[in-house]
Amino acid sequence: MEVIAVKELSKLYPTRDGSVQALQKINFSINEGEFVAVVGPSGCGKSTLLKILAGILPLSKGEARLRGSLITGPRRDIGVVFQSPVLFPWRSVLDNVLLPIEVHRLGRNGHLKLAMELLSLVGLEGFEHRYPWELSGGMQQRVAITRALVHDPAMLLMDEPFGALDAMTREQMNLELQRIWLERKKTVLFITHSITEAVFLADRVLVMTPRPGCIMDDVRVKIPRPRAFEAMNLPEFAPYVNGIRGRFNAKGLMDT
C-alpha cells in the first residue's frame, strides 16, 4: 500500500529578480513500512522536499499525497524529527514527548502508557522526569524520536537527525533507529548527507541532483536485516556506496 505518492512536484522560491527553482518534477512513492533515505549535495532541496511533505511549506506545482489525501498543511498523522531535537527546557522528558498529544487534543491520560512504552523502547526508562539539559545529545534526539512517534503517525520524516552528533554517538543512534524501526515498522523518509548512513539504514536510497533538485536514481538496498556495523565490511556493501557516489561528478559534494 502506498503511503506517500509524489507526482511532478516542483518548488520555486520568489526573489527580487524573479524566482529560484529548488525542486523540479519530483516523482516517487513509498510503500507501507518502507525505510527510504534521500541523499544529495548541499542545496539540492532535500530539506525543502521534507518540509513540503510535512505540510510546513507549500509546493509550487504537482502534488504530494499521504494515503491518498493531498498534503496541504501540517497533519497529525505525520511525525517529524529535525537535526536539532527542539525540546522545551522547562518541560520534563515525558512532558516533551506528550506535547503533540496536547497540541492535537488527543487526551493525555490515554497516551501516557504509550509514551512510557516508547521511552523504554528508546532506552530512556527512568529518565521521564529529567529535563533536556540533564541529557546528552544522543538522549535528547531519542526524546525527539519518541515525541514524533507518540501520536502513532502514518509517516515519520527525519531531516538529518544525527548530523549534529559526534561520530560515535551517530553510529550508536543509527543502530538504535534501525532497532526502533524493526520494532515499530513505521514508514520512514530519512534525509542525510552521508551515503554510508543511507545504505546502512534504508531499503531504498533516492539520489538527488544538484539544484534544481530532482530524483536521478532510486537504489534498492538488498542487504539482509538486522544490519550490524559489520555489514559495512560485506562485499556487497561497498558497491552500493560507490555506485551512488559515482553518480556525482564533482568531488566533495557528498559525505562518505
* Residue located via cell numbers 538504535: 176
Q: Classify residue 61: in a domain, yes or no.
A: yes
Closest by CA to 39, choosing from 161, 215, 220, is 215
Same domain, residue pair 132 and 217:
no
**Domain count along the chain:** 2
Closest by CA to 62, choosing from 75, 48, 52, is 52
Chain centroid offset of residue 56 CA: 15
* Residue located via cell numbers 564533482: 250
DSSP 230: G
What would the mean pLDDT of 25-43 be, rounded to a whole number?
A: 95
Domain interval for residue 129: 88-152
Percent of the chain scored above 70 by pLDDT? 97
The pLDDT value recorded for residue 203 is 97
The backbone torsions φ and ψ at residue 67, rounded to the nearest 5 degrees and listed phi first, read 50, 45
Same domain, residue pair 181 and 245:
yes
Q: Classify residue 15: in a domain, yes or no.
A: yes
Residue 104 has pLDDT above 50, yes or no: yes
Q: Classify residue 83: in a domain, yes or no.
A: no
Same domain, residue pair 233 and 121:
no
The pLDDT value recorded for residue 83 is 87
Mean per-residue pLDDT over the chain, rounded: 91
The pLDDT value recorded for residue 256 is 54
Same domain, residue pair 8 and 128:
no
Identify residue 201 by its one-letter amino acid code: L
Closest by CA to 170, choosing from 178, 161, 180, 179, is 161
Which sign does the torsion angle of CA 161, 167, 172, 174 carry? positive
Q: What is the pLDDT of residues 117-134, one digit of tens each?
A: 999 988 899 999 999 999
Q: What is the pLDDT of residues 144-197, one digit of tens each?
A: 999 999 988 989 999 999 988 888 888 888 999 999 999 888 999 999 999 999
The pLDDT value recorded for residue 133 is 95
pLDDT band at 200; cut points 50, 70, 90: very high
**Out of 90-99, 161-170, 231-240, which region has the weakest mean confidence (pLDDT)?**
161-170
Same domain, residue pair 2 and 41:
yes
pLDDT band at 106; cut points 50, 70, 90: confident
SS3 at position 92:
coil
The backbone torsions φ and ψ at residue 7, rounded to the nearest 5 degrees and listed phi first, read -130, 120
Q: Is 232 exposed, middle or buried (0-12, 13-18, 19+ CB in 10 A)?
A: middle
Same domain, residue pair 184 and 121:
no
What would the mean pLDDT of 73-97 be, rounded to a whole number?
A: 92
Q: Classify residue 119: in a domain, yes or no.
A: yes
Percent of the chain scored above 90 by pLDDT? 70
**Out of 123-132, 219-228, 242-251, which region has the weakest mean confidence (pLDDT)?**
242-251
Same domain, residue pair 183 and 200:
yes
Q: What is the pLDDT of residues 64-76, one digit of tens each?
A: 999 999 999 988 8
The enclosing domain of 38 has a CATH number of: 3.40.50.300
The strands making up 78-81's β-sheet, listed across from edge to edge, are 78-81, 155-159, 187-191, 35-39, 204-208, 215-220
The pLDDT value recorded for residue 251 is 46
The pLDDT value recorded for residue 58 is 95
Residue 140 has pLDDT above 80, yes or no: yes
